[in-house]
């Protein structure tokens, strides 16, 4: 009766010096181990919150969603199979929560813009002589939060989080072409926002 | 190529998604056009910085709220489990064999084990911080663990409360209760025997603690009927 499970669980949470992997923690949490669940939270809450914050552009909504994400983790951890990385699983769960939040609030993700939506490259003053960096992080984060939701979502998924266009397309239910063009427009808009700020 | 065409392709260019031919055309334009070079440089910076943004920390209220919710869902979970299990018993017309019930109980005990390991550690920690100097040679034997006394007290409370309710139970419910109680009691006896023979057997100690807790749960579950 002193089964393998027993030993595994005891190792995961009981030994102070032992650094359990995410998968071990997830298994223990699925069996009801509150300490393992807390450890998962400690290790991942910043990433989850940051992702919510960037996709929503609003810190109190991001906190609400981060909370909802970890409650979902608590409820669904048993369905995590361990054949993907825990971070990948958690990440997808977070993105889905944000998208559900958008849907509930009737936020439109497709942003149809006219050509004149952002300043054309030819009208932009020359910047190549700048010695200082175009971007500082604070300004960049602020500018991202000012993007329309559709641009922001694609930009955050692709440029911040590193998803490929194929993945972005399948997550958002849009074509690869749309994903690419939204991304391009997002980048151009960001540049414009930042240049305006630096003027 | 003009600047307008260049602008349409710049994102693909910096993402390395262009074919060699297109890339060469772009680069030719770049060599001649200062404003498009500026655009390229800006976007490259943008993309680079976006990949390396710092993480942010939510306020501590987030974890507090999660914990509160999780705790209440755990309690509901226990009640539902008992209810589901009883429903299953009814479906099967109470012909579950003892091994089946036993298997169920073993599974429950394994689940509860996790909780107990954590509980024990937390209790030890708080005891360590609370207790004053002498540190009363932390007992090597879990049998004298202070938790046990509490559990025994809780059990006797529950037993008398369940005893009163029993009168209104159906024979089937009573039978299910007795059977499971018998199983848990049997586990307790076995654990005690094992421990008295092998005082260093930590696993048996853990299992015994859990059989105790399982007994509490069982009584708590049936107290609701
Ligand atoms: Zn040009």
pTM score over 0.80? no
Instruction: Mark yes or no for CB contact B36/A121 under 8 Å.
Output: yes
For domain A118-198, give the CATH number.
Answer: 1.10.10.10
Nearest to A121 among B3, B204, B206 (CB): B3
Model pLDDT, residue B73: 83
Please provide the distance, in angstroms rounded to a whole number, between the alpha carbons at the two ends of chain A.
Answer: 72
- For an interface test with B, give the residue of A25, A34, A178 to mutate (most B CBs within 10 A): A34
Model pLDDT, residue B122: 44
Angle, to 10 degrees, between the axis of helix B146-166 and the axis of helix B171-197?
160
Model pLDDT, residue A116: 42
Nearest to B66 among A14, A70, A133 (CB): A70
The pLDDT mean for chain B works out to 73
Taking residues A5-33, report their average pLDDT: 67
Length of chain B: 225
Range with lowest mean pLDDT among A59-73, B31-45, B85-99:
B85-99
Task: Report how far residue B207's alpha carbon sits from residue B187's, in angstroms, rounded to the nearest whole number.
Answer: 8
Distance of CA A199 to the CA centre of its chain: 30
Residue A54 confidence class, pLDDT cut points 50, 70, 90: very high
Model pLDDT, residue A145: 94
What does DSSP assign to residue B54? P
Residue of B219, B211, B214, B215 whose CA lies nearest to B193: B211
B8 to chain A: which residues are within 8 Å by CB? 184
Task: Report how far residue A1's alpha carbon sits from residue A176's, in angstroms, rounded to the nearest whole number.
Answer: 53
Residue B79 confidence class, pLDDT cut points 50, 70, 90: low
Taking residues B203-220, report their average pLDDT: 75
Model pLDDT, residue B151: 75
Q: Is residue A52 within 8 Å of residue A69, measured between CB atoms? A: yes
Length of chain A: 199
Whether residue A65 is predicted with pLDDT greater than 80 in this model: the reply is: yes
Query: In terms of C-beta density within 10 A (0-12 exposed, 13-18 middle, 19 or more buried), how is residue A36 classed?
Result: buried
A4-104 classified as CATH 1.10.1740.10: yes
Angle, to 10 degrees, between the axis of helix A4-14 and the axis of helix A34-56?
60
A32 to chain B: which residues are within 8 Å by CB? 74, 111-112, 114-115
Nearest to A9 among B66, B70, B117 (CB): B117
Residue B134 confidence class, pLDDT cut points 50, 70, 90: very low
Taking residues A184-194, report their average pLDDT: 94
Model pLDDT, residue B146: 57
Tokens of A38: 């807390």
**Helices (H), ranges, chain B:** 3-14, 20-32, 34-51, 61-91, 98-130, 146-166, 171-197, 202-223
Backbone angles phi, psi at A111, to 5 degrees: -115, 100
What does DSSP assign to residue A157? I
Model pLDDT, residue B93: 41
SS3 B19: coil
Task: Report how far residue A61's alpha carbon sits from residue A53's, in angstroms, rounded to the nearest whole number.
Answer: 8
Instruction: Mark yes or no for CB contact A2/B113 under 8 Å.
Output: no
Give me the residue spans of the domains in chain A: 4-104, 118-198
What does DSSP assign to residue A125? P
Tokens of B91: 């479906």
pLDDT in tens, A85-128: 899 999 999 999 999 999 988 877 765 554 444 444 444 444 44
Q: Is residue B206 within 8 Å of residue B117, measured between CB atoms? A: yes
Residue of B142, B152, B148 whose CA lies nearest to B219: B152
């Amino acid at each position: 009766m002193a089964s393998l499970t027993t030993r595994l669980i005891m190792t995961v949470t009981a030994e102070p010096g032992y650094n359990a992997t995410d998968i071990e923690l997830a298994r223990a949490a699925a069996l009801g181990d509150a300490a393992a669940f807390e450890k998962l939270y400690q290790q991942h809450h910043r990433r989850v919150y940051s992702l919510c914050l960037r996709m929503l552009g609003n810190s109190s909504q991001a906190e609400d969603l981060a909370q909802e994400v970890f409650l979902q983790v608590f409820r669904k951890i048993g369905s995590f199979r361990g054949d993907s990385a825990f971070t990948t699983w958690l990440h997808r769960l977070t993105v889905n929560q944000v998208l559900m939040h958008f849907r509930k609030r009737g936020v439109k993700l497709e942003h149809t813009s006219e050509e004149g939506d952002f300043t054309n490259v030819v009208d932009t003053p020359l910047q190549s002589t700048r010695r200082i960096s175009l971007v500082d992080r604070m300004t960049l984060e602020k500018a991202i939060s000012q993007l329309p939701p559709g641009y922001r979502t694609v930009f955050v998924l692709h440029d911040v989080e590193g998803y490929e266009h194929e993945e972005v397309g399948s997550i958002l239910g849009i074509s690869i072409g749309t994903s690419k063009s939204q991304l391009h427009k997002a980048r151009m808009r960001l540049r414009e926002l930042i240049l305006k700020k630096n003027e | 190529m003009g600047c307008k065409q260049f602008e349409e392709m710049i994102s693909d260019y910096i993402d390395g998604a262009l074919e060699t031919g297109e890339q060469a055309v772009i680069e030719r334009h770049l060599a001649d056009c200062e404003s498009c070079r500026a655009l390229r440089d800006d976007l490259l910076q943008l993309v680079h910085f976006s990949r390396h943004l710092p993480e942010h920390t939510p306020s501590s209220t987030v974890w507090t709220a999660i914990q509160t919710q999780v705790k209440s869902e755990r309690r509901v979970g226990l009640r539902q489990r008992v209810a589901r299990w009883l429903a299953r018993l009814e479906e099967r017309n109470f012909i579950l064999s003892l091994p089946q019930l036993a298997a169920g109980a073993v599974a429950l005990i394994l689940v509860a084990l996790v909780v107990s390991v954590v509980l024990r550690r937390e209790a030890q920690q708080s005891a360590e911080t609370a207790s004053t100097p002498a540190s009363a040679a932390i007992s090597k034997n879990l049998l004298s663990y202070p938790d046990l006394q509490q559990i025994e007290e809780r059990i006797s409370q529950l037993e008398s409360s369940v005893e009163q309710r029993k009168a209104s139970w159906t024979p089937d419910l009573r039978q299910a209760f007795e059977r499971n109680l018998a199983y848990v009691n049997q586990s307790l006896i076995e654990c005690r025997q094992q421990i008295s023979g092998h005082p260093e057997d930590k696993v048996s100690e853990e299992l015994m603690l859990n059989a105790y807790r399982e007994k509490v749960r069982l009584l708590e579950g049936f107290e609701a009927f």
